[in-house]
Amino acid sequence: MALGEPAAVRPLAPRVAKADAHWRNRQNLAVGASVLAALAAPLFVQNFVVFQLTLVMIYGLAILGLNLLTGFNGQFSLGHSAFYGIGAYTAAIMMNQNIDYYWTLPCAGAVCFVVGFLFGLPALRLQGIYLALATFALAAAMPQILKFQPLEPLTGGVQGISLLKPDPPPGVPLNADQWLYYFTLAVLLLMLGGAASFVKSRSGRAIMAIRDHPIAAAAMGIDTALYKTLTFGLSALYTGVAGALGAIVIQFVGPDSFPFLLSVSFLVGLVVGGVGSIPGSLVGGVFVLFVPNLAERISTGLSGAIYGVILLIVIFAMPLGAAGFARWAATRLRFARNPATTGSVGRK
């Protein structure tokens, strides 16, 4: 099963160098503008919206984790709610021991990396639907494990753990919501940058080669087993850090916070944002948080059905997700502006 759909990720056709450089400038400009907008946003909206935007970034980060695995390495997972939950519980348990919240992130990342790596080992033998089932098993089992009686002193059992909201450092003229927003934004930018350079690195090319053609990749001397398990670990790390941030911002973890449905939400966000697109993951975060709210505004009783209909419309309009749509629109735009230089794009 070609889950990653490599065609969507590769450039559409060889480009003319000049136009390409021009476009890259545009891209850098867009990234810069987005960062500036993100920095300014909390100063103009009320706290509740700041909180929502923080959640968007957190879900975006979690989806980015899934994207590294599915979009770039072609491995499928329905188990990322488990990694998110492990990250969240790591943070909550540590904060319960009066450890400062910022220390919980590297620990949550490390724990999830190990768990993800270990889970990646047996997953090596599985592909497609069989891998989906194995990862699903992880997600389905997670709430049961969190409720498990002997672990109760640690996990709080069915009652979960309530956390205190961290205050901004003394002297910083921000309220708690704004502070957490900037804290999350910093973590997000750091990890986005990490993901972008990872994807461009030798290792990144190796995992994409495995996605596109595992046998050819192995023939070229890529240690597919090692790279696949490492990607699993890295992917879990990203989602786990997101989970830790989620715990800090929500101030509560419980077994019911991390049901299998959360994995489904991540998957929806991944596809809507664009499989194999790093900025697309953030679009996915927006969708996951805001579209259910939109659906219930249309009809409270039928919110599930409306959500489904919106989802269908999105898939119909953008089968390759927001990122695919943006690429398509950009191509059209360039073609309209300068048919001579880009005439070869998309047609032969």
Partner 1 sequence: MEQLLQQVLAGLATGAIYATMALAVVMIYQAIDHLNFAQGEMAMFSTFVAWQLMQWGVPYWGAFALAVGLSFVGGVAIERVLFRPIHNAPILSQLVAFIALFSILNSSAGEIWDFTIKTFPTPFGTKPFLGSSLISTHQAGMIGVTLVMLGLLYLFFRGSRLGLAMRAAAANPESARLAGIRVGWMIALGWGMSAAIGAVAGMLIAPIVFLEPNMMLGVLLYGFAGAVLGGLSSPGGAVLGGFAVGVIENLAGTFIPYVGHQMKLTLALIVIVAVLMVRPTGLFGRAVVNRV
Partner 2 sequence: MKKVTRRSILAAAPAALALAAIPARAAKNYGPGVSDTEIKIGNTGPYSGPASSYGTIPKSEAAYFRMVNDQGGVNGRKINFISYDDAYSPPKTVEQVRKLVEEDHVLLVMSPLGTPTNSAIWRYMNAKKVPQLFVATGATKWDDPKGHPWTMGWQPNYQSEGHTYAAYILQNKPGAKIAVLYQNDDFGKDYLKGVTDGLGDKANMIVLAAPYETTDPTVDSQIISMKAAGADVFVNTGIPKFAAQAIRKAAEIEWKPLQILASVGNSVGAALKPAGLQNAKGIVSDFYLKDPTDPQWKNDPGYQQWVAFMDKYYPEGDKSDSGNVTGPSLCATMVQVLKQCGDNLTRENVMQQAANLHHFRVPMLLPGIEINTSPTDFAPIKQLQMGRFDGQRWQLFGSLISGQAPS
Residues making contact with partner 2 (CB under 8 A): 46-48, 51-52, 55, 140, 144, 147, 157-160, 162, 164, 246, 250-252, 254-257, 259, 261-262, 289, 292, 296, 300-301, 303-304, 307
Nearest partner of 113 among 148, 69, 161, 76, judged by Cα = 69
Asked if 346 is part of the footprint of partner 1 (rule: CB under 8 A), the reply reads no
Interface of this chain with partner 1, residues 246 to 265, rule: CB under 8 A = 264
Q: Which is nearer to partner 2, 255 or 280 (CB)?
A: 255
Q: Quick one: angle between helices 321-337 and 278-298, nearest 10?
A: 110
User: What six digits make up the tokens of 23?
Assistant: 């476009």
Asked if 275 is part of the footprint of partner 1 (rule: CB under 8 A), the reply reads yes
169 three-state secondary structure: coil
Shortest Å distance, C-beta 36 to partner 1: 32
Interface of this chain with partner 1, residues 75 to 94, rule: CB under 8 A = none
Q: Backbone phi, then psi, for 130, in 5-degree steps?
A: -70, -35
Dist. CA 141–CA 119, nearest whole Å: 14
Cβ count within 10 A of residue 122: 11
Helix (H) or strand (E) holding 252: strand 252-253
* Residues β-bridged to residue 253: 161
Partner from partner 1, partner 2, none binding residue 251, C-beta < 5-8 Å depending on class: partner 2
Dist. CA 280–CA 270, nearest whole Å: 8
Residues 241, 124, 270, 129, Cα dihedral to 10°: -140
Asked if 300 is part of the footprint of partner 1 (rule: CB under 8 A), the reply reads no
Interface of this chain with partner 1, residues 88 to 147, rule: CB under 8 A = 122, 125-127, 129-130, 132-134, 136-137, 140-141, 144-145, 147
Stretch that binds partner 1, among 43-51, 100-108, 222-230, 317-325 (CB under 8 A): 317-325
Stretch that binds partner 1, among 48-56, 90-98, 242-250, 307-315 (CB under 8 A): 307-315
DSSP states along 299-326: -STTHHHHHHHHHHHHHHH-TTHHHHHH
Partner from partner 2, partner 1, none binding residue 319, C-beta < 5-8 Å depending on class: partner 1
Residue with tokens 């047996």: 122
Asked if 12 is part of the footprint of partner 1 (rule: CB under 8 A), the reply reads no
User: For binding to partner 1 (CB under 8 A), which residues are involved?
Assistant: 1-3, 5, 8, 70, 122, 125-127, 129-130, 132-134, 136-137, 140-141, 144-145, 147-149, 214-216, 264, 267-268, 270-272, 275, 301-309, 311-312, 315-316, 319-321
